[in-house]
Amino acid sequence: MTLAPFKIVSKRVDDPEAVGLQGYLATGGYQALKRAVLDLTPEAIRDQVMQASLLGRGGAGFEAGRKWSMLKKSDVRYLVINGDESEPATFKDHMLVERDPHQLVEGALIAGYAIGAARIFIFLRGEFALGLERVQAAINEAYEYGAIGRNIFGSDFSIDLVLHPGAGAYICGEETALLESLEGKRGFPRIKPPYFPAVIGLYGQPTIVNNVETVSNLPWIVMNGGGEFSELGVGRSRGTRLFALSGDVIRPGNYELEMVKNTFRDLIFDPEMGGGLAPGRQVKAVIPGGVSAPWLGPDQLDVLLGQDEVAAVGSMLGSGSIIVMDDSTCMVRAAWRIAKFFARESCGQCTPCREGGSWIEKVMRRIETGSGREEDLDLLMDLCDNIVPGVSWPPQQTTICVLGPSIPSSVATAIRMFRDEFLLHIKEGGCPYE
Amino acid sequence: MNDSDATVKLVVDGHEIQAKPGEMIIAAAEKAGVLIPRFCYHPRLEPVGVCRMCLVEVKGPRGFSLQPACYLPVAEGMEVVTNSDKAKKAQDGVLEYLLANHPLDCPVCDKGGECPLQDQTFVYGPGESRFVEEKRHYPKPIPISKLVYLDRERCIQCDRCTRFADDVAGEALINFIGRGGSIQVNTFPDKPFSSYFSGNTVQICPVGALTATPYRFKARPWDLEQVESTCVGCSVGCQIVVQSSENELVRYLGLDSEAVNHSWLCDKGRFGFESVNSSDRLGTPTIRNGTAAKEASWTEAMAKLAEPLNRARKRPESIAIIGGAHLANEDLYVWSKLAKSIFGTDSVDAQLGDGLDPRLLTRTNRATIADAVGAEVLVLLSGDIREELPVLFLRLREAAISSGLKIVELTHAATSLTPNAAASIVVSPGQVEATVRSLVEQSGQEPSDPSIAVAKAIIAGADPNRIVVLAGRMNQAGSSLDQERAIATLIDAKPGSKLLSGLRRANVNGAIDMGFVPGHLPGRCALTEGSKELIDAWKQVPTQIGRSTPEILAAAANGEIDVLFLIGADPISDAPDPELSERALAKVGTVVSVETLPNASTRFASIILPAAAFTERMGSTTNVESRISLLGQKLVSFGLSRPEWMIAVEIAAAIGEDLGFESMHDVWRELSVVSPLHRGLSLQALGSPGTREGVLVPVRRSRVSIASNRSLDPVATPGIISVEHSGPPSSSGTGRGSDAYPGIEANASAVESVDSRISGDLLDLLATPNEVAPIGSGDLVPVLRRRLFDGGTMLVRSKNLTELAPAPRVTVGGSTAASMGFAAGSKVTLSNGTSELPDLELVVDRGVADGVVVVDLDGESGLTRRVIQGENLRLTIKLESV
């Protein structure tokens, strides 16, 4: 068992002083921004990020440097930081915005400088009451300090940064729905094409949308170089990642680990990390990358924590949220809860997600509460197929955005992995775990 | 309109097809005969791709994938499969999803039988639903306006109504609320869906979620009979389908005319049919002796009329005719001949003192709607187009937003197009000509008013051939001369520019073309310009220019008129001075009303002749752009009523004259010979498939490109034709692609004759400007403004529209209100020094010029006209004590 705690983004999270400007400065804060705007060209920073192979930490895992390089030329471009982290069991950005808000601000400013943004918007989940307070305080301090505004640190670079609280819809974490919301419209994901906000984004202008954790890596990359960053990790997955571990483990929490150095088993069982399960309990299933990811079984715990490594076994590392379910967990109930979440959070715009989601949720509820029918399993699989043709991974979809395919992920894998448990519910007319 | 011949080749279901670049797969496939199922797609709305019914397989770099055909434009070499197992599975799946929560209340749903959801359920999706859960429930239909009911259980969230309201009408009064399975369309709290265009949402709703009060539970679609026609609610000439059940009108639907209305209608046009069904209809000739009125036969009525008419004929100028703007072209021609040839009077006026000098229309290059929306600059010299020509407003708004039309507006108060105008110049009454002069004069001085500076630069930079002037009536109060001189000044200064008529009465433009105004003969000719053929047919024409409506009324009040015909006209409610009208009608020996419905003026008629209403007779009408289109007959005419042309023939016969017409074909046979404007046309030619959108006169080319897009897509326009009957819309026979008006030949000499009368010096034709009286302190200059729901006869007799007429209000600018110390919402009294109008709500609008008070014109009650009349009027307003 190898442990590789290498802290990039979470190095200050246990230091309450670092929340304020003085504490942040005392721990090397704003050195990177200074270097960036005074010594480095935007191209140089973009090169560093490209070298770093910094995969987006929001869930899709698109390489940040490549995303930046796709930004269409335009007089006005925007940078939007996506902090609408709202998925059950995903809480890594939550920690970063509350415990190291200046790092987020600094990272955003570096990104804004690198891509030539006219303005930066940070879109934070509305329920992050403390996070909103702290990020706003950090922004205010940064203005005072000269890190935001006119001629930052005496350079030619000027930019404003606006904090925008979300209004409580999960779907606004989908980047195009976020842009719609930011524009004051309903949070409906935009239909593709155009495929990327980098072509047409906020207010019709080319826009880069980056995740909180993604940009929180930038101060380190500027100070240490993209090459240094890519020394960590393997393959496409470089640097470190925050893994939000939850569920039936002794020590749930956020763990920053070097990419592709540890397995799920390490994370779950290492006494310094998950600390294992309650005595006598066995792992029944693991959700590896947020609740929209297909589940892994106990036989897949030795998969390495890397983007391509998890994809190779038919799931995704996604947002890095790992939920452990032990053998006391009802799989029907777990899948139902997830389906219920997505059905409620569907924007309602397109038919398969709106109608399919709530239909699947209703059937799942029926099975869990004792009114299931055997034909319901085929029905569920077919309803899943009508959202994700072939019910395969990575999913094809009949929907506009990927919220729709998130519904079948759990339901279909639960049925495939635990069909007997479903049948037991149906046969016994209720949940055997109650 | 894109006349480009460029095409893209793609393969749909194994067959190579051609499409226009930028066209969506769904539209290209449809033209090739492949109907891809759809709900949210509508050819007149921006695609959103939300219903997912149109998913097809499209080959991309990573193989075939499911893509929405309504959202993906065609590309060269594209491969599309609409009927693979995978595509069909997706389509069937979407249909089953849509039906999951849809109530199966088809037997009691008005949409049943013409429902795109019902129709497509026969073709796609499983026969039975696997959905055994409880469906979504909402309280059954809720009124979201006085005209529209919303049933949220039936709604399939296709976003058509909401897109229409926001994108097309510019009023996002309905929108989505909630999310997931709880998403619903609704209004904002306490804000009803009160839009002039709400009926369109009912028409395009692909299910029975939106229903309109006038049609609810009235009929089943399979019992309806229908005929295509033209709406006569105003002069835009929207193409419609008139539907009836058991000889009663039940519904109008908008037809998709590329040239005119893009399938949209305004609510007044759509629901005004109720006035035809009104129980107040006049069905029998009526003779009045003193106060005693008695019903009579046509023979008795004609005998009663013959005597005074024969007496009056000895002095032709003692006979006058007011009205006619609501008549069909054929009626107007026959009445024109009756008046000018038989009676010998030129005192004939289809305008009621509310229009413009007809020479502005007969002596100018006339623009089409296509010219206007495709222009570089459109100069608005008219009232609020949304209030007066509503569907034209939709077209202009779209052009300003999407195709770069620059609107320069001269107005007395902000209009509905102000937000979309490149320059909006607020002028005071009496200053319009001077303002236009400052826009076109060559001085190097920068105008001090920034909006004038912007407008001047826009006009100076534009190709004069691509400038269109929309000429209507900016102010119903006072003289129109200043405004007419402004129009003439602009057109004279920009040779090549065109004029789009903004005259709003149904067929007023046709009336002018038929010479049914003083000083004119059919074909836009002056009295002295009649063709040889006309003189042959008419024998005589008046030599003296006759009186206009205000002049007729003044002469009548003076005892100079013996016989006055009111043809579909109510001068007491509609002419500028109601008191003069009352005096005039009381004085005239014989007032003859030719009417469909009683009004304030018919009380003065000694003979009332019942006329057949629109939809009860065939004929044609001419719109603002000189497009002649057919009026369809759907009903048997009410009681003993007759079309007006027939009444004219009867009147002629009663005095021993023969007009020579036994049918409307006879009328056209003569008209198409005597009028250069109408040469070559016939009723048959107007009724052929290639002329379904009407014919622009004069016919300039024998072979003209008709960009007709009158789609018969039953999903886009449910109710006109059902999927079951039509199958996929055919690529031919709907007008599109046809390039000729069959049976109509252009006649170069006729066109030249019309064009030869276009004046380069329009201003010289007009009178010299009036003196503007000085404005005293505290005095306000009145602007009388039309509203769509104006309380006129049609509105009052349409039971679902009548409540919509707002009480008249007065509007002043912010500084005027401030100087008087009045707050918005106060109750005020309007005074002209001698009479007062109390209890008016005061509105404060920053878009109103200082020292101006804008008053809404009311219709049948005519109250505002009683205070606002005459030249150089000054008003005061005072606050009412609470």
Higher pLDDT, B740 or A63: A63
Task: Determine whether the interchain pair A389/B90 forms a contact, defined as Cβ–Cβ distance below 8 Å.
Answer: yes
- Listed in sequence order, the DSSP H helices in B261-324 are 267-271, 298-312
Q: Is the pLDDT of residue B2 over 60?
A: no
Element (H, E) at A241: strand A240-247
Q: Sort strands B423-426 and B809-812 into parallel, antiparallel or unpaired.
A: unpaired
The confidence score (pLDDT) of residue B738 equals: 39
With an 8 Å Cβ cutoff, the interface of chain A facing chain B consists of 169, 171, 186, 191, 193, 343-352, 354-359, 362-363, 366, 379, 385-386, 389, 396-400
- Fold of the CATH domain B781-881: Barwin-like endoglucanases (2.40.40)
Closest Cα partner for B115 from B25, B202, B184? B202
| Nearby residues of B565 by Cβ (< 8 Å), 6 or more positions away | B319, B320, B321, B322, B323, B592, B594
Q: Which residue of B has its CA nearest to A345?
A: B180
Closest Cα partner for B636 from B616, B618, B619, B620? B616
Q: Residue B730 — very low, low, confident or very high, per pLDDT cuts 50/70/90?
A: very low
Contact B696, B257 (CB under 8 A): no
Closest Cα partner for A223 from A321, A106, A338? A106
May I ask the CATH class of domain B286-355+508-704+740-755? alpha beta
Q: Residue B734 — very low, low, confident or very high, per pLDDT cuts 50/70/90?
A: very low
Distance from CA of B73 to the nearest CA of A (A): 10
Q: Which residue of B has its CA nearest to A358?
A: B181
Per-residue model confidence as pLDDT tens digits over A384-426 = 999 999 999 999 999 999 999 999 999 999 999 999 999 999 9
Per-residue model confidence as pLDDT tens digits over B4-27 = 568 999 999 999 999 999 999 999
The confidence score (pLDDT) of residue A120 equals: 98
Q: How far is CA B727 from CA B83, B89, B712, in A?
A: 16, 21, 10
Q: Is B721 helix (H, G, I), strand (E, B) or coil?
A: coil
Domain boundaries, chain A: 16-230, 241-326, 331-428
Q: Is B778 helix (H, G, I), strand (E, B) or coil?
A: coil
Per-residue model confidence as pLDDT tens digits over B645-678 = 999 999 999 999 999 999 999 999 999 999 999 9
Distance from CA of B496 to the nearest CA of A (A): 38
Element (H, E) at B63: strand B63-68
Domain boundaries, chain B: 2-98, 105-116+130-213, 286-355+508-704+740-755, 359-501, 781-881
Q: Which residue of B has its CA nearest to A170?
A: B179
Per-residue model confidence as pLDDT tens digits over B51-73 = 999 999 999 998 999 999 999 99
Q: What is the CATH number of domain A16-230?
A: 3.40.50.11540
Structure tokens, B324: 């006619």
Per-residue model confidence as pLDDT tens digits over B613-638 = 999 999 999 999 999 999 999 999 99
Per-residue model confidence as pLDDT tens digits over B163-214 = 999 999 999 999 999 999 999 999 999 899 999 999 999 999 999 999 999 9
Mean pLDDT score, B362-374: 96
Task: Determine whether the interchain pair A351/B101 forms a contact, defined as Cβ–Cβ distance below 8 Å.
Answer: no
Which of A191, A348, A379 comes nearest B179 by C-beta? A348
Q: What angle do CA A91, A95, A97 make, to 5 degrees?
A: 115
Q: Is the pLDDT of residue B733 over 60?
A: no
May I ask the CATH class of domain B105-116+130-213? alpha beta
**A397 contacts in B (CB within 8 Å)?**
66
Contact B336, B329 (CB under 8 A): no
The identity of residue B42, as a single letter, is H
Structure tokens, B611: 């006329």
Per-residue model confidence as pLDDT tens digits over B315-344 = 999 999 999 999 999 999 999 999 999 999
User: Whole-angstrom Cα distance, residue B687 to residue B693?
Assistant: 10
Closest Cα partner for B457 from B483, B422, B495, B431? B422
Average pLDDT along chain B: 92
With an 8 Å Cβ cutoff, the interface of chain B facing chain A consists of 48-53, 55, 65-66, 68, 71-72, 86, 89-90, 93-94, 96-98, 100-101, 130-131, 133, 156-157, 159, 175-176, 178-183
Distance from CA of A251 to the nearest CA of B (A): 35
Task: Determine whether the interchain pair A351/B156 forms a contact, defined as Cβ–Cβ distance below 8 Å.
Answer: yes
Indicate the burial class of A35 (C-beta count within 10 angstroms; 0-12, 13-18, 19 or more): middle
C-alpha radius of gyration, chain A, whole number: 22
The confidence score (pLDDT) of residue B741 equals: 65
Within 10 angstroms of residue B116's Cβ, the number of other Cβ atoms is 27
Q: B359-501 domain in CATH 3.40.228.10?
A: yes
User: Whole-angstrom Cα distance, residue A60 to residue A62?
Assistant: 6
Sign of CA dihedral B554, B557, B560, B566: positive
Mean pLDDT score, B84-97: 97
Distance from CA of B725 to the nearest CA of A (A): 27
Lowest mean pLDDT among A275-279, B791-795, B833-837: B791-795
Query: What proportion of chain B, given as a percentage, has pLDDT over 90?
Result: 78
User: Whole-angstrom Cα distance, residue B97 to residue B158?
Assistant: 13
Which of B49, B55, B181 comes nearest A191 by C-beta? B49
Per-residue model confidence as pLDDT tens digits over A349-361 = 999 999 999 999 9
The confidence score (pLDDT) of residue A124 equals: 98
The confidence score (pLDDT) of residue B412 equals: 95
Task: Determine whether the interchain pair A343/B181 forms a contact, defined as Cβ–Cβ distance below 8 Å.
Answer: yes
Distance from CA of B225 to the nearest CA of A (A): 35
- Fold of the CATH domain B2-98: Ubiquitin-like (UB roll) (3.10.20)
Q: Is the pLDDT of residue B705 over 70?
A: no
Sign of CA dihedral A248, A250, A253, A259: negative
Q: Is A182 helix (H, G, I), strand (E, B) or coil?
A: helix
Cβ pairs A/B, distance under 8 A: 101
The confidence score (pLDDT) of residue B506 equals: 95
Q: Looking at the structure, give the CATH architecture of the domain made up of residues A241-326.
A: Roll (3.10)
Higher pLDDT, A155 or B2: A155
Indicate the burial class of B834 (C-beta count within 10 angstroms; 0-12, 13-18, 19 or more): exposed
Indicate the burial class of B353 (C-beta count within 10 angstroms; 0-12, 13-18, 19 or more): buried
**B71 contacts in A (CB within 8 Å)?**
191
Q: A331-428 domain in CATH 1.20.1440.230?
A: yes
Distance from CA of A341 to the nearest CA of B (A): 10
Q: Which residues pair with B563 in a beta bridge?
A: B319, B590
Task: Determine whether the interchain pair B93/A350 forms a contact, defined as Cβ–Cβ distance below 8 Å.
Answer: no
Task: Determine whether the interchain pair A354/B94 forms a contact, defined as Cβ–Cβ distance below 8 Å.
Answer: no
The confidence score (pLDDT) of residue B521 equals: 97
Task: Determine whether the interchain pair B181/A400 forms a contact, defined as Cβ–Cβ distance below 8 Å.
Answer: no
User: Whole-angstrom Cα distance, residue B317 to residue B312?
Assistant: 8
Q: Is the pLDDT of residue A216 over 90?
A: yes
**B160 contacts in A (CB within 8 Å)?**
none
Distance of CA B177 to the CA centre of its chain: 34
Distance from CA of A372 to the nearest CA of B (A): 11
Task: Determine whether the interchain pair A351/B68 forms a contact, defined as Cβ–Cβ distance below 8 Å.
Answer: no
| Packed helices A419-428 and A331-345: angle between N→C axes, nearest 10 degrees | 100
Task: Determine whether the interchain pair B176/A348 forms a contact, defined as Cβ–Cβ distance below 8 Å.
Answer: yes
Q: Do domains B359-501 and B781-881 have the same CATH topology?
A: no
Q: Sort strands B79-81 and B8-12 into parallel, antiparallel or unpaired.
A: parallel
Task: Determine whether the interchain pair B94/A386 forms a contact, defined as Cβ–Cβ distance below 8 Å.
Answer: yes
Q: Is the pLDDT of residue B1 over 70?
A: no
Q: Which residue of A has its CA nearest to B175?
A: A186
Higher pLDDT, A4 or B690: B690
Closest Cα partner for B871 from B484, B554, B574, B479? B479
